[in-house]
Amino acid sequence: MDTMFSDKSWESADGLTLHFRDYPGDEMRPAVLCLHGLTRNARDFEDLAAHVAGQGWRVIVPDMRGRGESEYSSDSATYALPNYIDDLTRLLEQEGIERVVAIGTSMGGLMIMLLAAQRPELFAAVVLNDVGPVVEDEGLDRIRSYVGQGRNFPTWVHGARALAELHGEAHPNFALDDWLTMAKRTLTVCSNGRIAFDYDMKIAEPILSAEATASPEESVAPDLWPMIDALADKPSVLVRGALSNILSPATLERMQQALPRARVINVPHTGHAPTLDEPEVRVAIDLLLQEVS
């Protein structure tokens, strides 16, 4: 795909300069808003964004604070969903965007659900990628085991092989070229020439601190199901990796019942999270966009 984007920025309430990719498209349609996962960035969507923009849609892909080309926060406590929602709201206000088709992977999907509870009218349609109102403990424990570890590598191949070791169970059919693609999306070249993960290692601090200090009452997950109810009348696509340890089949089934206009895609031989480049997912997203347009 050769669809071009512009690198743009906006400012957070606490003065951070944040980056987003803006693919031009029809301003009369809702914008397509792509939201990445916890340790990822805008590059996660480079193929999908170009594909969608090639159909005439404007596509907005932010790097959330502490990721990619967005500024890192000096206060690790601001790496939390309420701040991400506020940052995102400021971006939409700056760009004059009043309606979106939102595509969210993992943390990005949680952001969609939280924002939908506040502003359901914002959403024309949604894609939730391997995430729901219940996040399985097994998956959370897995994330805690690697987030914030500042590893670095001498070459892209070393980085790709490290990702294969870390996430091989989630993508058992990936070849080296697939891992290299993931490495180019997930890692970056540092000033010293080493290749490292492209996020602020301090994003792990609120997650690990909350786990260490939580009382038994606080360890009970909040009920997010009412946030799904806010999307009940929206066209949607629910994507699950068949091997996912984050989104269970039972949660997916309940989500499907709560969202009667949903298409459900189970991606075989895939865990957390599908890339959204899978053919069956692309077809579902294209059909969703046709429904909206």
- Domain assignments of the chain as residue spans, ordered by start: 6-144+223-292
Which pTM value belongs to this model? Answer: 0.95
pLDDT single digits (tens) 83-101: 999 999 999 999 999 999 9
26-68: pLDDT as tens digits:
999 999 999 999 999 999 999 999 999 999 999 999 999 999 9
Q: Tokens 């939409």 identify what position?
A: 92
Pick the CATH number of 6-144+223-292 from 3.40.50.1820, 3.40.50.10950, 3.40.50.2300, 3.30.210.10: 3.40.50.1820
The set of residues, in sequence order, having a beta carbon less than 8 Å from that of 98 and lying 6+ positions away, is 92, 122
